[in-house]
Structure 1
Amino acid sequence: MRPADAASVHYSPSTWQQPCPAPASADRSILTEALAERILTVGPGRLLVGIDGFTAAGRTSFGNELAAHIAESGRPMLRATLDDYKNPWKDRHLYDRESGEGYYRDAYDYHAARRLLLDPCRNPAADSCTL
């Protein structure tokens, strides 16, 4: 049960939404809670937190758990994913299939992610990132 002052986690509209599984372990819950507390000490303003890692390493689940812990503090939370900015398959299937570097270079539309998500969220006056 959430504390009375907890905020909800707002998720970006996404075709990649999936149910958040239960935390992998008690140790992982301790880690995500400690990391959330550390993030919250950075300051009261808008923060951008990125999670990086290999495909299928658990980035999405970890991000969901971290977002939930931050929201428990009462801080508004927008949870977005780079998967919402994948290039169309007609272009993406041409990527370098021999290396991870090629996949990450060609699979995502980084310009759109920056223009539509990161830049508005970096600007505290931007209405497009208001929760």
Structure 2
Amino acid sequence: MVQTEVAERVETEAAKSEDMWEQLLLGCHAFVSAAIESPNRRIMLIDGPSVLGWETWRKMNQQNSMRLLHDQLQLMKEYGYLKPVSITSLTHLLSGAMNEAILWVCQMPDQQQALVEATSSLTLMLEGFKAK
């Protein structure tokens, strides 16, 4: 299943660092990078939701990518890395932002440049939640 494979890739990338903040960035960037790959993007963002229905697809997404993101954010909050924020809300916000970024990158003529721009913007957005 594509969602499981992408989730494993996210975990592998995030594990390349011991720093929680860098783990979050690596994982988010890995998710966007993996999802824009041709077979993945079609299954994850077009065919999957269409065939299975939006509610079923969201449940599957929550069990894989969103679960990893939520768990990482919760741990970061517990260790004081994040400003006071609802982790559930932040998880949904970031998931939606990444999914929209993937759709945007896939439509751009220069996808590599668009990927750089999207991940840079994502990093800046995440920095806004970082505890000082």
- Is the structural similarity TM-score above 0.5? no
More strand by share: 1
RCO higher in 1 or 2 (8 Å CA, sep ≥ 6)? 1
Structure of higher CA gyration radius: 1
- The TM-score with structure 2 as length reference comes to 0.36
